[in-house]
Amino acid sequence: MNEGQLALALPHRPGLDAADLLPHDGVRLALEMLARGRVWPQDRLGLWGGPGTGKTHLLHVWAREHGATIVAGPLLNEPFWPEGAVAIDDADLAPSEEALLHVLNAAAETGHRLLVTSRLPPARSRIGLPDLASRLRATVAIELGAPDDAMLGALLAKLLSKRQLIVSAAVQRYVLTRLPRTAGAVREAVGRLDAAALAAQSSISRPLAAGCLADLFVADPLEETPS
């Protein structure tokens, strides 16, 4: 990769470990397939799903374990020749179909494995280049669905515990029922709660949570009837 292409490579994100993933069915299947990289058809694999489903997390786990170059799809506007395994995050947002096609072809020619993530399955992406559309249709893709409420609740409790934050079950329920249904939103909320509690030198109460998370909340359910 020449000097002009270095901007495409992203550093691995600290803390994105397999142990931090929510173990729903899509993640378990993806982990199994990622571990069996040598049997990927055409040495390509796709992971797709909405925001917060874990596809970027899985991409970083795999890239770290296999020394793969991570490429940000929205920055893929020029072709490059891969020198090893490649992971393209948000491949469906690549501004240049020609550059994406070149990377797919080059990886296949050199025998390097290629992992791509996208919001839609590769076969359903709107592609203008027939050759690129054909290669994406031939890519095995795993859907990563959104985690359910039980998993999000377990994640919230786990992240609070890791930061040694004591939060009542009532406040945890208050937060969880108002956040977007994504793991990313839960992680963002815990970081904000930690910072707000430290700044206020107080425990994490419902008013504190409401104040620091108001712009994250997307729902305002009816107040629970006291039992």
**Domain CATH code at residue 31:** 3.40.50.300
Whether residue 184 lies inside any domain: the answer is yes
Residues 54 and 128 in one domain: yes
Does 64 share its domain with 102?
Answer: yes
Structure tokens at 137: 């249709």
Residue where a domain terminates, one of 91, 118, 143 = 143
Q: Are residues 122 and 77 in the same domain?
A: yes
Q: If DSSP codes are grouped into helix, strand and coil, which group holds residue 225?
A: coil
- For each of the chain's 227 residues, which pLDDT tens digit applies? 433 333 344 433 434 555 555 555 567 777 788 887 667 888 999 999 887 788 888 899 899 989 999 999 999 999 888 889 999 999 999 999 999 999 999 999 999 999 999 998 877 888 999 999 999 999 999 888 777 788 889 889 999 999 999 999 999 999 999 998 877 789 899 999 999 999 999 999 999 999 999 999 986 655 444 33
Q: Do residue 117 and residue 58 come from a single domain?
A: yes
Is 220 part of any domain?
no
Give Cβ neighbours of residue 65 (< 8 Å, ≥ 6 apart): none
Last residue of a domain, one of 143, 162, 195: 143
> Both 129 and 182 in a single domain?
no
The boundaries of the domain holding residue 190 are 149-213
Count of the separate structural domains present in the chain: 2
| Inside any domain, residue 225 | no
Indicate the residue type of 90.
Answer: D
Q: Are residues 14 and 109 in the same domain?
A: yes
pTM: 0.68
Torsion of CA 177, 183, 188, 194, to 10 degrees: 80
Does 35 reside within a domain? Answer: yes
